Chains A and B, each alone.
Chain A
Amino acid sequence: MKAKHQRLILIIAALIAIIGAGLIAAWTLRNQANYFYLPEQMAATPPAVGQAVRLGGMVRPGSLSTQADGVTVNFMVTGNTDDAFPVRYHGILPDLFVEGSGVVAEGSLGTDGVFVATNLLAKHDENYVPKELEGMGSAQAAQMAADTTIGLTQ
């Protein structure tokens, strides 16, 4: 085999691997990328049960309740409309998680129609805000999220 040939084979092998990686990435991203939903979108066009998504909005005042085990909480998240979506979370609440504040819940839809959150992102401090909640007060939360998620639900 000539040296030129060898170089060519190497380049082709490398290209195949990189393109393969790109295709695998594109395919996996389509299936595994984690989309952002508003409560009303979640109600209208729910994602498949068990698919990892994020639900963002405002914690409805008066809806937060802790179950008897002391570590499971239920609350309602509201968006632009009056629709509210129920969320259940088993874990330690973030420090700045309060009723009436914005929240992004990571998790998936359960079979009982309740959104089961595995992680809650609340506003942490002045410098560290979840991207989706950046620059908004509690009332603008849903508005802002709606403005930036156009075309998400088709």
Chain B
Amino acid sequence: MIAEIGLAALWLAAALAVLQMVSGALALRSAEGEANPLAIYARPAAVMQALLAGLAFAMLVWAFAVTDLSVKLVAANSHSMKPMIYKLTGTWGNHEGSMLLWVGVLALSGGLIALFERRLPERTMGATLAVQGFVALGFYAFLLLSSNPFERLPVPAIEGSGLNPLLQDIGLAFHPPTLYAGYVGLSVAFSLAMGALLTREVNPTFARVMRPWVLGAWVLLTFGITAGSYWAYYELGWGGWWFWDPVENASLMPWLAATALLHSVAVLAARDALRTWTIMLGVLAFSMSMLGTFLVRSGVLTSVHAFAVDPERGAFILVLLGLYIGGAFTIFALRAGAVAEGKRFSFSSREGALVFNNVMLSAILAIVLLGTLYPLVTEAFDVRVSVGPPYFNPASAMFAIPMFLVMAVGPLLRWKEDSPRRIRFEVLLLAVILIGVIGLVSFFGQFALLPLLGLGLAAALGVAAFLPLRGRKLTRVPVATWGMVLAHFGIAVSLFGMASEGAFTQERLAAVAPGGSDQVGDYTFTLQSVNPVAGPNWTAIEARIAVSRDGGTPVILTPQARNFWSPAQSTSESALLTRWDGQLYAVIGNQAADGRWQIRMWWKPFVTFIWYGGLLIALGGVLSIIGRVRVDMKRRKAVSLGDERRADLEALGTAPVPAE
């Protein structure tokens, strides 16, 4: 019964998406101020659709929670013996479930904007909802026609086949939902951009409506990428934090586009410049989200993320992708010329710096996109290549380094026009820090170019992030400005972590007999024993390793090599020792013929700063949203107070005559 309710809710939601699309489109056809009798259904349809999609998702979660083995998806991906938390998170640990989550978040964001957004003209709003409904409809069709999550088995299975052990981790609870919410949050930015383009309402009001959505999606993406990176770092046991895996790139590309969009929408809101550029980035950002979904969900990639290998599904998503992206860029090409020119600005101004960084971000996006798609293209010609860090690192750094340099001074410039001479002291200070740190570090050792540059840039950016506060009263700095300072400082922190990891990591791989010792960095480690252990759905061998720093008190680390039985698979569980200045990372390998065990240890100085930085960036985004929303509330209140006052005066009849 549960599955049938879910399926019915999904069909109803799809029908409402059609209503929302038609009704929204009719609003577009009526003249401004004149109400089309059919246009009033768009908002309620969006809200109802959000509730129904939410219901469908809740039903699937329920089926997973009770392990309803008559549902094909549950039987294929769950197991009655699994811990409850992994039963629940397993709902989206598979193709159909994750697509349902995708669509659910899409419907939810459509419902939210329909419910709360009252600032835009009705025609723009109608067009926005129509586009949102159109996008949702495509994905409902995809779910219902080719990936029905509620399909029943003719005969219920006796036992489920379990969840990929790599996914049986608390990371699965956070990483996909936040990333999806970020991906799909960009759909609202896309719909708003298309709505504004269709009604030629590209102006600061529109930018202020769009900004919280872009910021929100960007915060979620930042958080999702940070969480995913840390998850891959400790779960895979390879000691790396970013592999330029196509699926990682699929999440990085929307982030790059959203970062550019969020800065350009800020220019549009504050200065009414960069109108068409903002629209184009809005289209681009969501295109990257959909491309990411295509890469991950179509099975063109082989990775732990690609659950489904089914050409029909891949083709379906590809058609949707072509329809939406192609359609959006066609409308853009036809309408962009009709959007009135924005305000002008000089090259040396804050707008100028933002435009420069927007272009650099787009270039990095192009680099990542080409590197990700290249193996797919060559494969069509029967040449198998893979593209990895030797390509991505230098090629993206070529554009990232100028971007960081401009990012350091950009916030110090004034809007519209500024003289670079005014900030020469700051520029000089940052140059001294940059060159000083690089000189100092290279004096003490021989390091690769990129980590060296990274360390210098991190120091300069760390100082530069706080320079906009210079000479201001800290208690009176707006919350949104604090958000910017924090996010930019987060970039510096993260960069410092990446560069330190690249420059100073020490590794030791050795075969150690029980009782034997070895050395990595300042640490001495002793293999005390290796014992078998068992968990709820796995058995493992666990090493007890005592580590001590410079002869201090030893700490026990217990890395494991786990064997899951359903599905049968082995994983390596690393053990981490976190200190303020870095992490010790331990992995156990095989036993050699003479009884010694392979132990791999890394000492990674300041590696944790990578993820602290990511969290700071996300926190900066949150502060910025709070600041913007507060200012907006104040403005609305002031406007309504003013209206009341005017109404009172009118009610009094004539204006009061001043006493003589």
Contacts and interface: CB of A to CB of B under 8 A. Distances in A.
B364 to A, nearest CB: 8
B596 interface: yes
A71 B510 contact: yes
B391 interface: yes
Interface residues of A, number: 50
A48 to B, nearest CB: 14
Nearest to A65: B593
Interface in B580-607: 587, 589-590, 592-594, 596, 598, 600
B387 A10 contact: no
A92 B23 CA distance: 61
Question: How big is chain B's contact interface, by range?
Answer: 35 or more
A99 interface: no
Interface string B293-310: 000000000111001000
B388 interface: yes
Interface in B491-539: 509-511
A137 interface: no
Contacts of B381: 151
Nearest to A52: B390
Contact of B363 (A20, A66, A69, A71): A20
Contact of B386 (A18, A28, A33, A150): A33
A139 interface: no
Contacts of B589: 71, 91-93
Given A10-B355, A17-B360, A149 B382 contact: yes
B164 interface: yes
A128 B600 contact: no
A130 B384 CA distance: 12
B48 interface: no
Given A4-B341, A125-B567, A129-B302, A92 B600 contact: yes
Contacts of A150: 382
A29 B370 CA distance: 9
A152 B384 CA distance: 8
Contact of A96 (B304, B343, B570): B570
B370 A25 contact: yes
Interface stretch (B64-72, B83-91, B218-226, B393-401): B393-401
B385 A35 contact: yes
Interface in A57-73: 66, 69-71
Contacts of B371: 25, 29
Nearest to A1: B344
Contact of B384 (A3, A125, A149): A149
B467 interface: no
B590 A28 contact: no
B362 A34 contact: no
Nearest to A33: B385
A49 interface: no
A102 to B, nearest CB: 14
A136 to B, nearest CB: 13
Interface string B334-372: 000000011111000000000100011011101100110
B367 A134 contact: no
Contact of A132 (B384, B561, B568): B384
Contacts of B362: 14, 17-18, 21
B640 interface: no
Nearest to B571: A95
A22 interface: yes
A25 B370 CA distance: 7
A125 B568 contact: yes
A35 B511 CA distance: 32
A45 interface: no
Given A96-B570, A125-B569, A33 B391 contact: yes
A119 B343 CA distance: 54
B509 A33 contact: no
Interface string B169-203: 00000000000000000000000000000000000
B233 interface: no
Nearest to B370: A25
21 contacts: A3-B342, A7-B341, A14-B359, A18-B363, A21-B362, A21-B367, A24-B398, A25-B366, A26-B370, A33-B378, A33-B385, A52-B390, A71-B510, A71-B589, A92-B600, A93-B590, A127-B307, A128-B164, A128-B304, A134-B302, A151-B382
Q: Which 9 A-B pairs have the closest CB atoms?
A: A70-B511, A92-B589, A21-B363, A95-B570, A3-B341, A21-B366, A32-B391, A25-B370, A32-B390
